[in-house]
Structure 1
Amino acid sequence: MPASRDSAAWRAEARATVALAGPIVLTNLSQMALALTETALLGRFGTRELAAGMLAASLHFAMLAPALGLALAAAPLQAQIRGHGRVAGGAGRGWVRGMRRATRASLWAVVLAILPAWAVLWESAAVLRALGQDPALADLAQHYTRGAMFGIPAFCAFIVLRGFLAAMERPAAAMWVSLGAVALNLPVAWALIFPAGLGVAGAGLAITVANAAMVAALLVLIARDRVFRRFRILGRFWRPDAARTKEVFLVGLPIAGAMLLEIGVFSAAALAMGWFGAIAVGAHAIAIQTASTTFMVPLGIGQAATARVGLAIGAGDVAGAARAGWVAVALGGGFMLAMAVTLLVAAPGIAWLFLDPGVPGAMEVAALGTMLLRIAGLFQLGDGLQVVVAGALRGLKDTRVPMLFAALGYWGIGLPMGLALAQFGGFGPRGIWMGLGVGLAVVAGLMLLRWRRLSA
């Protein structure tokens, strides 16, 4: 009988995780679709525009990392507050106020992190030139960053509100809003890139429009919902809350650090691709966009794990927290194994989805992109496991040690190995991706060992 109850508990956890992760995954895929749409449009506008858009997006996401990490800190705080509130009686005003304070403090922390990022993005051409990029590509990339940078506050606010919905186990609203943003972005981006003739600049402006629409729509939905409106989620937003803001920074800065390390290593890889010319950068854009798309699924499972683990810990259920984490690991690992096979088999067809055969250089970009996609297939499992386990650890508010793992795996092993293989091993652009794959595998192994120890 105990074994039967235990099996039932695992099945119930799997159902709860899938129910929560499903809308979150679709939300992530929708957000990824924004970038994929613009990559595909720029690829048809021209190979240099595609390369410039890739360089711009790499710098943009690197500078986004601090604010996004602080936004993601809201999720474990909100989940643990709600988990404790359910045990304490659910309807009490204390946990409702706690959810509002955690949300408000996260938004203020995001604002503080955005200002220095804006300063860098505004002068991104000079930054890219200093990093050894082609001046013409750097100037084109700046057109994108200056258009996209003003959408960062809205995007981070959307992430904070999505964390609130996940903690409440009602993530569907964020999903529908994200799907609506994709539907909006396609015609807006097309109109700005082609008929308006803005090219790369139009792609950046379209992202800002989509992000602003997402957060506005989500605020309206929350305000009109019978359950959510009682939280008055932006109530007294102007009031400082030093205690909660400090907690956001304590949890969020290591998340931001780990994200900056991961985003930074892929941004550095994109910059290193620039040393091999526009063909290499274009091929890298195809491979990274594809790998990033598959990554959205384990990312969403990891975000669901943050909420599930946090809810269990807040309720004092240590065994339930461990169960939630291991279920997420199994789901994420299984999906990424399937994606590994897909990329290995279907790489040529995927590469041509991003290219117009009539564009000069398309054949060369497709050939190199196919090779990079197959290398990406080899590290799908490691990439998926590390992000799922990181999400489970966040549910425990364990963020500092995972950041150190990321530093070792990405910068101590992955990037140096990739550069050595590319420059001295004769592998060229392929070597960079080989090194990244090894780094991801190291991080995944270390994360799993830590989760096993903390969840025992």
Structure 2
Amino acid sequence: MTEAPPPTWRAELAALARLAGPLIGANLLQMAVFAVDVVFVARLGPTEFAAATLGVYIFHIFAFGLIGMVGAAEPLIAASLGRKVGAVRQVRRSFRMAMWLAAIGSLAVMAVLNLAAPILRLAGQDAAVAARAGDFCRVLSLAVLPAVMAALIRLTAAALGRPGWALVVTTLALGVAVLGNWCLVFGNAGFPALGLEGAALSSVLVSCATCAAYIVILLTDRKLRRFRLLGKWWRAEWSRMVEIARLGAPIALGWMAEGGLFGGAALLMGLISVTAIDAHAVALNIAAIAFQIPFGLAQAGTIRVGYAYGAGDRAWIGRAGNVAIGSGIAVMVLSAAIFWAVPHWLVRLYVDPARETAVASMAIGLLGIAAIFQLVDGAQAVAAGVLRGVQDTRVPMMIQVGGYWGAGFGTALLLGFGLGWGARGVWWGLAAGLGVVSVLLIWRWSRRDRLRPTPRTA
């Protein structure tokens, strides 16, 4: 499979939509999987809910960081297809060594998850919440390797022109999540009631089922099978592994910096109250659902720009990236309007306002702030994605770390605690960090020709 440059902006938008549509759908279904966990665990009580919230944040920071590292195979694969020469062999090399990195990195992430309880105690969290989060993470650590492998296969399949499989597999994952939580959390259908640990075990089953489904697809899909991605998986090609690690380490650090900002915000909420943690979890889950649209556009933008970068076509690079960034900003304007208009309806999907008045009221207030940062969040996500397409990751990572932790976390501390704004101040800090990163990444993209030369076609 090779790609030819679309001749017009409209044609590029259509190509982006064909690629991004299934990825966005899969992202939204993945958030539905996460929401299933939240809905079931929230009914176990505030301590269990807070423990799961903190545990999931730790999982996401490190597991998503690892996904970011192995996901560096995506722009390399796209560039190989755009370059055309020797594409099949280059695609296979990139996938195989990314798979090796996934296996090695998963061991490190699992070790961190097994230390969740002492980490949270050092961070000043409630002792009971930290202990239960540790129990939760010990089980959840088993999900790391299959989850990272599934993400790698999904990105690879999309780059090879088969994004629709992501939608199919994530639909399967949603069904497994609902059934698993229903059986294991409250002990239905003859299963034991495992409570919080049951929710973690359900997540492990979801990750394993997802990974297994993708492996079957690699072996049976006609287009994917010709790349023989699992062939000679034991053969090491150290130069390609180093290339993926060099490109992927900044992606991982950037994703961890962003995840760490939101995880750090959760820790700050823990210093305020358990109610603040629960409200933060509800509001952030709603915001994260909306974020899946620009995130899908960012994934597709990486691939589209990667094709153009491999082909050495400057005009196509600019057209593909600008279309992706503009689309991301446009959809987030719509989601911000929804947050402003009906925040109480959205919160009602997670908590009962009559029973948990304090949590619902605080979550509604946080959604008003989330409507502001939705606008810049979409822009920064897609800008980072298209920069990955031209294999520019080191400077964007510096922008992300500085923006999220300097402007973002610093402002959250100042407003939330220095000025006594509490939970709202923490969320205004999130908005500040995302805004700074958005402006700087778009500036970086606008100067790409001066800062990042386009390679000649091989």
Q: AA paired with 1:68?
A: I
Partner of 2:393: 399
How far is 1:168 from its partner?
1.4
Would the aligned equivalents of 2:24 and 2:295 in 1 still touch at CA under 8 Å?
Answer: yes
**CA deviation after TM superposition for structure 1 residue 144, in Å:** 1.8
User: 2:41 & 2:8 partners in 1: Cα distance?
Assistant: 49
Q: Which of 114, 130, 135 in structure 1 is aligned with 2:122? A: 130
**Equivalences for residues 160-309 of structure 1 within 5 A:** 160-195=152-187, 196-309=192-305
| 1:167 and 1:311 in contact (8 A); partners too | no
Q: Distance in 2 between matches of 1:7 and 1:149?
A: 44
Q: Helix, strand or coil: the match of 2:230?
A: coil
Specify the alignment match of 1:119 in structure 2. 111
Deviation at 1:8, TM superposition (A): 5.9
Pair 1:9–1:423, CA change in 2 (3 A): same
Q: What's the counterpart of residue 31 of structure 2?
A: 32
State TM-score, norm by structure 2: 0.94
Letter in 1 for 2:268: A
Q: What is residue 443 of structure 1 aligned with on the other side?
A: 437
Q: Is the 8 A contact 1:32 1:293 kept in 2?
A: yes
Secondary structure in structure 2 of the residue aligned to 1:227 = helix
Secondary structure of 1:355's counterpart equals coil
Shift of 1:67: 1.4
1:45 deviates by: 2.4
> For 1:48-87, what aligned pairs fall within 5 Å after superposition?
48-85=47-84
After superposition, where does 1:314-393 map in structure 2 within 5 Å?
Answer: 314-356=310-352, 359=355, 362-393=356-387
The 10-residue stretch of structure 1 (411-420 or 219-228) with the greater mean CA deviation from structure 2: 219-228
User: Post-superposition, which runs of at least 4 consecutive aligned residues in structure 1 deviate over 3 A?
Assistant: 356-359
Q: What do residues 221-260 of structure 1 show as CA deviations (whole Å, max 9, x unaligned)?
A: 1211122212111111111110110011011000001011
1:146 to 138, 156, 159: 138
Is the contact made by 2:160 and 2:224 (CA closer than 8 Å) also made in structure 1?
no
C-alpha distance in 2 between matches for 1:35 and 1:226: 32
Q: What per-residue deviation string (whole Å, max 9, x for no partner) do you get for residues 155-202 of structure 1?
A: 111121112112112100121001111011111112111113222211
Is the CA contact 1:337–1:380 (under 8 Å) kept in the aligned structure 2? yes
- Unaligned 5+ runs, structure 2: 451-458
Q: Distance in 1 between matches of 2:354 and 2:428?
A: 31
Q: Determine if contact 1:188/1:206 at 8 Å carries over to the other structure.
A: yes
Instruction: Report how far residue 424 of structure 1 moved.
Output: 1.8
Is the 1:286–1:351 Cα contact (8 Å) retained in structure 2?
yes
- Match among 405, 426, 430 for residue 432 of structure 1: 426
Query: Do 2:67 and 2:152's aligned partners in 1 also have CA atoms closer than 8 Å?
Result: no
Secondary structure, aligned partner of 1:234: coil
Q: Is the 8 A contact 1:44 1:355 kept in 2?
A: no
What CA distance in whole angstroms lies between the structure 2 residues aligned with 1:104 and 1:8?
A: 34
Superposed CA deviations along residues 354-406 of structure 1, whole A, max 9, x for unmatched, are 114575xx110000000011111111010000000100000000000110111
What's 2:94 paired with?
Answer: 102
CA distance in 1, matches of 2:270, 2:246: 36
Take 1:353 and 1:202, find their aligned partners in 2: how far apart are those partners?
22
Q: Is the 8 A contact 2:75 2:390 kept in 1?
A: yes
**Cα-Cα RMSD:** 1.5
One-letter amino acid of the counterpart of residue 415, structure 1: F
Report how far residue 71 of structure 1 moved. 2.1
1:423, distance to aligned residue in structure 2 (A): 0.8
CA distance in 1, matches of 2:210, 2:43: 27
Contact 2:250/2:397 (8 A) holds in 1: yes
Unaligned runs of 5+ residues in structure 1 are: 1-5, 89-93
Distance 1:309 1:63 in 2: 27
How many residue pairs get aligned? The number is: 442
